[in-house]
Amino acid sequence: MNLLGLAWRSLLNRRFAVILTVCTIALSIGLLVLVEQLRSEVRTGFYRSVSGVDLIVGARTSPVQLLLYSVFGIGDATNDISWETFEQLKVLPQVDWAIPMALGDSFRGFRVMGTSRDFFEHYRFGNRESLALARGEIFDDLFDVVIGAQVARQLGYELGDRIVLAHGTGRVALQAHDDHPFTISGILAPTGTPVDQQLYISLAAHRAIHIGWETGVQRPGSTIDPDAARDRADELRPNAITALLLGLNTRAAVFDLQRVINRYRPEALTAIMPGITLQQLWRITGLAEQVLRVVAALVVLAGLLGMLTVLLTTLSERRREMAILRANGARPWQISSLLVFEAGLIAAGGIVLGVVLALVVQSAAAPWLLANYGLHVGLSWPEPWQLGVLGIIFLAALLIALVPAFMAYRRTLSDGMQVKT
């Protein structure tokens, strides 16, 4: 049996305290890894959601707010864009396609977006992938609705089911558009983006269900009959939309067009480039991430100090043990290295368990993130630099173990052959 074997057997002998120490270190490592993994996965998730959009246009507001409410369904718009503006922007020569977004309704907590067929044709996610229908088709009838994959999965809806949308975006529906039930005509294939979290109706339908709601609540007797609405479907269009997504003919035009839109005279608008606005968002969240990192690092330090405490407290108990080893030929450095090996085994156990813990929590949190934010968080192995950090933590544990190792060294020199008490 070599020294490592002896260290292992000695640890097994004190397994209760050792397991607790390993768990402490594992928790701290788990936290550290998890913070980093979620950070990078969430960022990737955000970038995946806007991969094909060159500009997002909304009423004058802060860029980050516009990005969050238009694409990610976080927060609400404070103002709308007039239909005329939309008509003018979409025919600009630089513009390849324009996707209107009319928000403001919801269905059991999921957002309803009034849009055109351009959305299904031009919206891109992930690695520039197009949207696809898992089943059914895009709106045929005026009161057809296409639902996202997550909506279908979570609420258990199928093609042909009839649903009633709610006015407003809260989770609790206070007012329902119950005069105009919709029929599910299509279910989108999963994308791992907020697209899965929404329902899609045509702009004409969006207008139809809001006739008589101009003041924010329904005026009694003012609504349009569904069949009458169907007859007028071609002329129905909203007075205003919430935002629009633009794809350009050439990306080189993006800065010019952004300037043009931001200076648009008839109406105060904000145009943003999603990638750049995400960077701004990261700068805002960066501080919180730094705090989390520091906290995680401090927790790791606390874990290592806990290990030091355990090693130091056992040092007195094990004085006799060390004298026995010494009497049987162990040299002081061998006894010291036993302690370093023990620390190494504890730290290695803690690190491995911590990474496993992080992966488990990550996979457990993934459905929640998907359900609440439409963010697809994949299981990912720590990146090389993270493994480097773990290596440094391992070395730090060995360094810390030098303290009890040195004390044991001194003690074995001063103790005689036998410690009788």
Residues that bind another protein in the complex, under the rule CB under 8 A: 1-2, 6, 9-10, 12-13, 320-321, 324-332, 334, 413, 416-420
Residue 67 or 335 having the CB closest to another protein: 335
Minimum distance from residue 312 beta carbon to another protein (Å): 19
Residue 11 or 357 having the CB closest to another protein: 11
Minimum distance from residue 2 beta carbon to another protein (Å): 7
Q: Which amino acid is at 387?
A: L
- What Rg value do the Cα atoms of the chain yield, rounded? 31
Cα angle, residue 312 at apex, residues 398 and 320 outer, rounded to 5°: 110
Residue 216 or 416 having the CB closest to another protein: 416
Minimum distance from residue 9 beta carbon to another protein (Å): 5
- 73 token code pair: 């369904």
Location of structure tokens 């008509």: 87
* Contacts (Cβ under 8 Å, ≥6 apart) of 376: 45, 48, 191, 192, 193, 366, 369, 370
> Would you say the C-alpha torsion 376, 381, 382, 384 has a positive or negative sign?
negative
Residue 281 or 419 having the CB closest to another protein: 419
Residue 27 or 322 having the CB closest to another protein: 322
Minimum distance from residue 330 beta carbon to another protein (Å): 5
Minimum distance from residue 149 beta carbon to another protein (Å): 57
Work out the angle between the directed axes of helices 384-414 and 332-373 (0-180°, nearest 10): 150
Residue 10 or 70 having the CB closest to another protein: 10
Minimum distance from residue 129 beta carbon to another protein (Å): 59
Residue 232 or 319 having the CB closest to another protein: 319
The conformation of residue 421, written as its DSSP 8-state character, comes to -
CA 415/CA 407 separation, integer angstroms: 12
DSSP string, 57-113: EEES--HHHHHHHHHS--S--SS-EEHHHHHHHHTSTTEEEEEEEEEEEEETTEEEE
Q: What phi, psi does 160 have (nearest 5°)?
A: 90, -15
Q: Which amino acid is at 415?
A: D
Residue 5 or 367 having the CB closest to another protein: 5
CA 248/CA 254 separation, integer angstroms: 7
Minimum distance from residue 24 beta carbon to another protein (Å): 22
* Contacts (Cβ under 8 Å, ≥6 apart) of 382: 33, 36, 37, 355, 390
Minimum distance from residue 305 beta carbon to another protein (Å): 26
